[in-house]
């Protein structure tokens, strides 16, 4: 059972990483226009400099 002493902190750390990643997506405004982002990827316009 001693293994859980390692496993619990590790799993919490990994989950925490996910949480931080979510905070980052929130901060960088990735939820402002979900429909638009889904459609933009289908646009056949060539752009080597994606817009913000």
Partner 1 sequence: MCAQIAACPACSVAPSAEELAKMNEVVEARIMLSLPTVHCAACITAVERELERAAGVHSARVNLTLKRVSIEADPEVTADDMISLLEGIGYEAHELDAGTLRATETDKRGRELLMRLAVSGFAMMNVMLLSISVWAGAEAATRDLFHWISAIIALPAIAFSAQPFFRSAWSVLKVRRLNMDVPISLAILLACALSLYEVTQSGKHAYFDAALSLTFFLLAGRYLDHRTRAIARSAAEELAALEVPRAERFEGDELVTVPIAELAVGDLVRVKPGGRMPVDGVVTDGQSELDRSLLTGETVPVYAGPDSVVSAGEVNLTGPLTVRVTAAGEDTSLHRMADLVAMAESSKNRYTSLADKAAGIYAPGVHLLSFFAFVGWMVISGGDVRLSLNIAVAVLIITCPCALGLAVPAVTTAASGRLFRRGMLIKDATALERLAEVDTVVFDKTGTLTEGAPELTNLEDFKSRDLQVALALAQASSHPLAVSLAAAVSGAGVEPAELNDLHEVPGYGVEGTWNGETVRLGRAAWVGAKAGAQTATYLQIGTADPLEFTFADHLREGADKAVAALKEQGMKLLLISGDAPVAVETLAKRLGFDEWVAEALPEDKAKRINALSENGARVLMVGDGLNDTAALAAAHVSISPASALDAARVASDIVLLGSDMSPLAEATVIARKATRRIKENFAIAAGYNAIAVPIALFGFATPLMAALAMSASSITVSLNALRLR
What is the smallest separation between the CB atom of 6 and partner 1, expressed in angstroms? 13
C-beta of 6 vs 32, nearer to partner 1: 32
CB of 35 to partner 1, least distance (A): 4
Say if residues 47 and 41 touch (Cβ distance below 8 Å).
no
What values do phi and psi take at 4, rounded to 5?
-65, -25
Helix (H, G, I), strand (E, B) or coil at 46: coil
Please report, as ranges, the residues that interact with partner 1 according to CB under 8 A.
1, 8, 11-12, 15-16, 18-19, 22-23, 26, 28, 31-36, 39-40, 42-43, 45, 49-52
């Amino acid at each position: 059972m001693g293994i859980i002493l390692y496993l619990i902190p590790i799993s919490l750390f990994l989950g925490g990483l996910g949480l931080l990643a979510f905070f980052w997506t929130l901060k960088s405004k990735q939820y402002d226009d979900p429909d638009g982002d889904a459609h933009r990827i289908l646009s056949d316009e060539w752009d080597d400099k994606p817009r913000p």
